Structure 1
Amino acid sequence: MPVARRPGHARVPSAARADRPGGGPVSDTPSTPSNPEPADAVGVPEQPEDAVPVPRRAEEGPRPHPDWAYPAGASKPEPLLADLRAEPPAAIRTGTLGAALATGLLSMMLLGDGLAINLLIVAVPAALAAYFAAEQAGRRPRPWTLAWAIGGLALLVVPALRDAGWPSFLAIVSAVALGSLALHGCRTWLGVLLGPLGLLDGVLSGIRWGWRGVRGRASGTRSGPVLRAAAVTAVLLLVFGALFAGADAAFAGLLGDLMPDASVADGPWRVLLFVVGVIGALAAAHTAASPVRWDRLTVGPGRARGRVEWALPLIVLNVLFAVFNVVQLAVLFGGYDAVLDTTDLSYSEYARQGFWQLLLATLLTLAVIVLALRWAPRGGPGDRTLVRAVLGTLCALTLVVVASAVRRMDMYVDAYGLTRLRVSVVAVELWLGVIIVLIIAAGVWGARWLPRAVAASAAVGVLAFGLLSPDALIAERNVQRYQDTGKFDLDYARGLSADAAPAADGLPEPLRSCALEGIADGLGAERGPWYATSLGESRARDIIAERPPTAANPMSCGQTRQEVAYR
């Protein structure tokens, strides 16, 4: 009959139990606390839907920590993350091993030439490996798990569409973060923030887990010879195929139709990509089968303050915000004449002067809200009403500050054009505004969903940022500014990615050729393979091939640059 035990502890044999000092046999029935604590009690961490119940450390009583406190034979404390770990996973299944191997092979063949649709192709078998491992461990996908997984894969579409590296980098990092949420099933603030660390924890564990599975199957009477023969065959094909491809150009061309690369020089790099792909897939699978339960980490509420001590500073801050917002509504949104009548600054100087201060003010307001909630009075319904009224007013006034900051940047862009920094900080300011709206909603309907909603809003923002193609947006806005004012920053346009080529193609000559020459230099002469070529790069190459940049006009690009800059 099974014996109740804590996850991670070995079973005690029956004979050893009978000889335990001071007692008879251990009961086979799990013990139940006499006064069980309700699931929604304050201070009890919220468990994931698929979590395995584990006794809390507080119920086990305190343990001494110094080494001298442990006499010979006494038990010592468990590792730091012992209470956060689930049961070790069972032996790895064949489907998980096959998916990890497929991830490594696709990484070796596709990722060496750049990042585009190949990253999404490699991520699919890695996701399948995690799914097979979670299914074997009895973890069923929940709606949030599916949302995180689908969102992570959707973010990997951005590198396939956009040539610019900076939105693609944000999309890849966000995809990894969403993948960690899908694997761990976290729902608290600490769980959402610490989730990616669980992937690092699963690297070494995943390697050992996968190696034990390979050894177990290799020693089997049926699958062992087949696996060994397949491994030897793959090694022989790779080594001799690469050598023959390097020796004969015709054979290399034939082999190039079957394999993405057949050069000996790239061999070590390809092997490294294979190893990284396999290890990454095994880490994801091990995390899915035995995740770290970050939601069991809790931070207790701060000491509740009295109403006057808590509310007075916030009410004064609200009054300051209200006065500032009244001035903004009267001056900033009044237009150019209002700015000239009120200040000695020009329209663009006034806009530039205050944007960064307002962005910092928005960030500090979020910090004030977090600290205010930690030390808020919690005496009863009256205190809750006070907290909602004061913080709700502060959030509403902060939204006006966000709108003022965005309006200032719009004024500045009208005067000086759009850049990557300017479009990025506006995107951040808008996202901070979304967070404030979510905080207001949490004050009305409860904050249980707030951590995951904030994470989802960040992912949606990064996805929208990539799909909108910021480099193309910058080029379109600056071309429109040139048509309105005759001013154009040619040096900046030449440094944009291939995503800006369609907008630059609409410029008149010789400005068009000067702008496209810089983009063409960044692309290079050789077109990459289909799986490593983004849609933005493909469109730019088609535009340049159809109407190549030419210096037909005797005016040089340097003279053109000066002319459009000082009109």
Structure 2
Amino acid sequence: MSDHRSESSRPARVPEPADPPGTAGARTPEPVPAGVQMSKQSGTPGAAVPEPPKVPAYARQPHPRQPPSPWGPAGRQPSSDLMKIRPAAPGVIPAATLWSVLATALLGALLLGDGIGLNLFLVAVPAALAAYFAAQAAGRRLRPWTAVWAVGGLSLLAVPALRDAGWPVFLAVVSAVAVGSLALHGSRGWLGIFLGSLGLLTSVAGSLGWGAHGVRDRMADSRGRWGVAFRSTVAAVVLLIVFGALFASADAAFADVLGSLIPDVSLGEGPWRLFLGVIGLVGALAAAYTAAAPVRWDALTVPPGPARGRLEWALPLIVLNLLFAGFLAIQLTVLLGGYDKVMAETRLSYAQYAREGFWQLLWATVLTLLVIALALRWAPRGGARDRTLVRSVLGTLCLLTLVVVASALRRLDLYVDAYGLTRLRISVAAVELWLGVVLLLIMAAGVFGAKMLPRGVAVSAAVGVLAFGLASPDGLIAEQNVQRYRDDHSIDIQYLRGLSADAVPALDTLPEPLRSCALDEIQRTLRGSDAPWYATSWGEARARDILGDWDPGARVRNCQELGSGDQGNERGGDGTGGPGGDDSYDPYDPY
């Protein structure tokens, strides 16, 4: 074996005396490595080798311990939940991911500056591919639930492409980001579903360094290949610009087609377009980084609370169930009896009775879900009898709450019959329906197990948002109010004027001058918009086809007078508060 001695362990070289006679050719003892005790060699006078300095005990340990932190408790290293969820560092960013991120940034800069429509889907596709390539390089497999979240997120982006109304579009875009984040993390539990939908924010900082290192390493290792790709891209762009400009100047029809296909980017929009490109770049990088190294949110768990005794736990809930049952018995008696029964039992008008209780029942439904969550946390867990008790009490509460949901929706139906459908009313009706679905899922979890409950609730929310957007709420509002006008000549034309282009097919069926007054603002908006095809929704395109170059002209001069009299008003008419009544103040609906 070779002797690997460090220079520092060797003793200083000193001049050696000449060999005494008779010792010529004697072998000089080899130095011994540090840490080995040395002594005088017997029988060899003057041949003593000095012992090296002794190594301290702590230095001879194979793995010396780090000194404890002066800020923590003595003898114990501080523990943190962050260590449980922190992902392993991802490998080198794949080239396919880099190209997909670049495509996302370019499409974002070119397409998103003109509005939101199909372009949002076109920008999301390369971002999804960037995440797919990064996950594949990291060894992650495509699981069924990951595919469900990914398809759901992209499907939600169909709402901006189909609907012109901004409020369902905003809800769909936010939901698409949340569902896409769940696809990247693959969470299962309650905390994982909730925090995983926000998890992209935790990857922004790390993704920037990850992408920069990947670009730098590739530029250093393969300068020739990247240079060829860059020069080829520049040459293709220059040729397209030069010959495209020549052909456009030679033929007006080709110029129109080319102008509708290529984004119109002016110099003044440069900063705004650059900002959108940076947003696309950062978002795609964060998605790819998360796909390669997702945060393990499911490692964070909320331990169940201390189990309570059967009587202590069940008595409050049984009392609550009895209260629900008594309330619902009276509700069903009144609501199923119709308007005459309402007047006889409550001495309230039809509309007043419908209005005064709906919001209270909505909050009662929400609070009941909170009560169920807390009850499950402290439920007795002794055995089969305890499980039967929990299922019976909470199942009864869920069933009674479903009847409350039905009662609230019935009140909303009376409410809409009296005042008409508005954006707020259709929104809270959708929320109430979703709460009913959540209650059904909880009841199913009590029978089949709660393993799939967090994912089921998240899926139901995403499906509800998608269905709400595809149903065209502005179109439903217009259709219901137009039908009310046909039935009893009651309509709030001032409210309908503020709807989006999705309402045009229904409003176009009104007689004049109501039609002109309802469509005047929408037509002005359509005429003032020059958004390209990729930033125009199908609802807006359909409205353009219906209205064409129509000009309302002088028929809109007296629109302010079309809110009362024979034309009616959404808020009332004759002072009874019922259909055609004069209850013009609605404190629950600012819309």
Normalised to the residue count of structure 1, the TM-score between the two structures is: 0.83
Equivalent residue, structure 1, for 2:183: 182
Gaps of 5+ in 2: 1-56, 247-251, 574-579, 581-591
- The 5 A counterparts of 1:304-319 are 304-319=307-322
SS at match of 1:478: helix
- Residue aligned with 1:334, SS: coil
Matched, 1:154 2:155: yes
Q: 1:549 aligned to 2:552?
A: yes
Provide closer, same or farther for how the CA distance between residues 64 and 333 of structure 1 changes in structure 2, counting only shifts above 3 A: farther
The equivalent position to 1:390 in structure 2, one of 371, 390, 393, is 393
What amino acid is the match of 1:557? Answer: C
Give a deviation string over 1:383-432, Cα, whole Å, max 9, x none: 11111100000000000000000000000100100000000001101100
Matched to 1:559, the amino acid is E
- The 2-side partners of 1:116 and 1:20 are apart by 68
- 2:431 aligned to 428, 431, 434, which one? 428
Tell me the distance in 2 between the aligned counterparts of 1:92 and 1:407.
56
Q: Which residue of 1 aligns with 2:409?
A: 406
Which residues in structure 2 correspond to 1:343-362 (within 5 Å)?
A: 343-362=346-365
Inter-CA distance 384–65: structure 2 relative to 1 (3 Å threshold) = farther
Question: Is the Cα contact below 8 Å between 2:325 and 2:400 reproduced in 1?
Answer: yes
Counterpart of 1:378 in 2: which secondary structure? coil
CA contact (8 A) 2:72 2:78 kept: no
Q: Distance in 2 between matches of 1:300 and 1:254?
A: 62
CA distance in 1, matches of 2:197, 2:60: 46
Indicate the residue corresponding to 1:15 in structure 2: none
The structural deviation recorded for 1:337 is: 1.5
Give the TM-score, by structure 2 length: 0.80
The Cα shift of 1:102 comes to 0.7
Counterpart amino acid of 2:313? W
Matched residues in 2 for 1:223 and 1:77: separation? 49
Q: Tell me the equivalent position of 1:441.
A: 444
Match of 2:126 in 1: 125
Contact 1:256 1:262 in 2 (8 A): no
Q: Report the Cα distance in structure 2 between the residues aligned to 1:212 and 1:460, rounded to whole angstroms.
A: 39
* CA shift for structure 1 position 87: 1.6
Give distance in 2, aligned partners of 1:344 and 1:234: 79
CA contact (8 A) 1:218 1:227 kept: no
Whether 2:338 is the aligned partner of 1:324: answer no
- 2:71 pairs with 1:67: yes
Which residue in 1 is equivalent to 2:456? Answer: 453
Are 1:262 and 2:265 matched, yes or no? yes
Given that 1:510 and 1:551 are in contact with CA atoms closer than 8 Å, whether structure 2 keeps it comes out as no
Q: CA deviation at 1:279?
A: 1.1
State how far apart, in whole Å, the 2-side matches of 1:381 and 1:101 are.
58
Q: Which stretch has the larger CA shift, 349-358 or 252-261?
A: 252-261
Could you report, residue by residue, the CA deviation over 1:78-106 in whole angstroms, capped at 9, with x for unpaired residues? 77623212221110111000110111111
Instruction: Check 1:70–1:276 CA distance in 2 against 1; reply closer, same or farther (3 A cut).
Output: farther
Shift of 1:255: 7.3
- Point out the structure with max Rg over C-alpha: 2
Measure how far apart 1:124 and its partner are: 0.5
* Cα separation, partners in 2 of 1:495 and 1:552, compared to 1, 3 Å: closer
Separation of aligned partners in 1, 2:89 and 2:132: 17
Give the letter for the 1:467 counterpart: L
Check whether the contact 1:305–1:376 (CA below 8 A) recurs between aligned residues.
yes
How far, CA to CA, are the matches of 2:451 and 2:182 in structure 1? 16
Aligned position for 1:85? 86
Offset, 1:212:
0.8
CA–CA separation in structure 2 for the residues paired with 1:252 and 1:207: 40
One-letter identity of the residue aligned with 2:71: D
2:550 matched to 1:561? no
Q: 1:25 to 1:67 in 2, by over 3 A?
A: closer
Q: Structure 1 255/332 Cα, relative in aligned 2: closer, same or farther at 3 Å?
A: closer
Determine the C-alpha separation between the residues in 2 that align with 1:180 and 1:235.
Answer: 34
Matched, 1:223 2:206: no
Is it true that 1:274 corresponds to 2:277 in the alignment? yes
**Whole-angstrom CA distance in 2 between matches of 1:562 and 1:415:** 15
Change (3 A) 1:145 1:22: farther
Q: 1:200-239 maps to which residues of 2 (within 5 A)?
A: 200-219=201-220, 220-226=222-228, 229=231
Match of 2:23 in 1: none
Name the SS for the 2:548 alignment partner.
helix
Q: Residue 227 of structure 1: CA displacement?
A: 5.2
Matched, 1:104 2:108: no
SS at match of 2:499: coil
Structure 1: runs of 5 or more not aligned: 1-18, 27-62, 245-249
The one-letter amino acid of 1:67's match is W
Question: Quick one: distance in 2 between partners of 1:279 and 1:230?
Answer: 26
Question: Does the aligned pair in 2 maintain the 1:513–1:551 contact within 8 Å?
Answer: no
The structural deviation recorded for 1:539 is 1.1
Structure 2 residue 303 is matched with structure 1 residue 300: yes
Query: Identity of paired residues, percent?
Result: 62
Cα RMSD of the aligned pairs, angstroms, is 3.1
- Separation in structure 1 between the aligned mates of residue 371 and residue 529 of structure 2, nearest angstrom: 53
Q: Structure 2 CA distance, aligned partners of 1:260 and 1:495?
A: 30
- The AA in structure 2 aligned to 1:185 is G
In the alignment, which residue of structure 2 is the partner of 1:198? 199
Cα offset, 1:22, TM superposition: 7.0
Question: 2:516 touches 2:555 (CA, 8 Å); kept in 1?
Answer: no
d(CA) in 1 for partners of 2:58 and 2:144?
47
